[in-house]
């Protein structure tokens, strides 16, 4: 059985085997979640809404992106800024980021995960988008925890509470991650790989290099370092 290594463990406390195991854990869910939330953040900047820009990324079970979306008016509808500034008009015309991503994905949404940035939740979905998520077969919703004191989180509180009830009853997994979490050991290892100039470095070599580093020795690839 493989041992799970807590990513916050100081590097020097791990033996070479554990370091190698940690390297393989870099492909764990949270790593991918943060990658897709980064894309959602990028996509959010494409929205023309001057007050709230939201981005969504939909991935299938194979972690392939099958849809992206941002909040905006339907294709061809005049999206002059004046319309965004008039709330009743905006609310009537806008298509939310999540729904755009789901429409783009079509049947490939089934079984997928939707990433939304920013988040005011849990969940990172309004009631309308929660309905679309449920009916399209998406099974998981992921976002960052809302920024403390964000007035949009307060404005949306009742709406999201309702969306949350629907997600719970229909079995949608709702996850929120801390946006500015300390870099995990996995992150640090990625940085080390990059600093050493090779992203394709094997876990064994990485572990051996870290061990040499921890022992304060000049790395030599013919030596197996033991901590
Ligand atoms: Zn929505």
71 Cα: distance to centroid of ligand 1 (angstroms): 9
Cβ neighbours of residue 134 closer than 8 Å, sequence gap 6 or more? 166, 167, 170, 172
The closest of 172, 65, 171 to 108, measured between CA atoms, is: 65
Q: How is residue 162 annotated by DSSP?
A: H
Measured CA to CA, the distance from residue 98 to residue 115 in angstroms comes to 8
Q: Which parts of 45-126 fold into alpha helices (H)?
A: 81-85, 87-93, 97-105
Residues with catalytic annotation?
Answer: 98
pTM (global) more than 0.85: no
What Cα–Cα distance (Å) separates residue 33 from each residue in 22, 37, 38, 131?
17, 6, 9, 22
* pLDDT tens digits, 8-20: 678 788 887 777 7
88 Cα: distance to centroid of ligand 1 (angstroms): 15
31 Cα: distance to centroid of ligand 1 (angstroms): 25
φ, ψ (nearest 5 deg) of residue 186:
-60, -40
* pLDDT tens digits, 175-203: 999 888 766 666 777 777 877 778 788 87
* pLDDT tens digits, 10-52: 878 888 777 777 776 655 678 889 999 999 999 999 999 998 9
67 Cα: distance to centroid of ligand 1 (angstroms): 15
Average pLDDT over residues 97-104: 98
- What is the radius of gyration, based on Cα positions, of the chain? 21
φ, ψ (nearest 5 deg) of residue 203:
-60, -35
Among 2-11, 60-69, 151-160, 173-182, top mean pLDDT goes to 60-69
3-state helix/strand/coil string of 108-153:
HHCCCEEEEECCCCCCCCCHHHHHHHHHHCCCEEEEECCCCCCHHH
7 Cα: distance to centroid of ligand 1 (angstroms): 34
Measured CA to CA, the distance from residue 21 to residue 219 in angstroms comes to 20
96 Cα: distance to centroid of ligand 1 (angstroms): 5
Q: Does residue 103 surpass a pLDDT of 90?
A: yes
Measured CA to CA, the distance from residue 163 to residue 110 in angstroms comes to 19
More confident residue, 44 or 153: 44
Average pLDDT over residues 62-89: 95
131 Cα: distance to centroid of ligand 1 (angstroms): 9
Q: Please tell me the predicted confidence (pLDDT) of residue 184.
A: 66
Q: Please tell me the predicted confidence (pLDDT) of residue 119.
A: 92
């Amino acid at each position: 059985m493989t041992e799970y290594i807590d990513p916050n463990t100081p590097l020097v406390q791990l033996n070479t085997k554990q370091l190698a195991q940690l390297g393989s854990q870099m492909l764990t869910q949270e790593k991918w979640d943060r990658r897709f939330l980064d894309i959602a953040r990028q996509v959010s900047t494409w929205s023309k809404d001057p007050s709230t820009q939201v981005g969504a990324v939909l991935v299938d079970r194979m972690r392939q992106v099958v849809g992206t979306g941002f909040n905006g008016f339907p294709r061809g509808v005049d999206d002059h800024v004046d319309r965004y500034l008039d709330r009743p008009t905006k609310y009537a015309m806008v298509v939310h980021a999540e729904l755009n991503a789901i429409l783009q994905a079509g049947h490939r949404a089934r079984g997928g995960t939707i990433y939304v940035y920013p988040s005011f939740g849990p969940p990172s979905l309004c009631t309308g988008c929660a309905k679309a998520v449920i009916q399209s077969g998406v099974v998981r919703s992921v976002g960052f925890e809302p920024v403390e004191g964000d007035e949009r989180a307060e404005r949306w509180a009742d709406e999201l509470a309702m969306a949350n009830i629907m997600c719970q009853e229909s079995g949608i997994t709702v996850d929120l991650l801390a946006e500015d979490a300390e870099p995990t050991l996995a992150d640090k290892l990625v940085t080390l790989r990059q600093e050493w100039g090779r992203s394709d470095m094997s876990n064994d070599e990485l572990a051996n290099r870290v061990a040499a580093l921890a022992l304060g020795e000049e790395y030599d690839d013919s030596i197996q370092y033991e901590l």
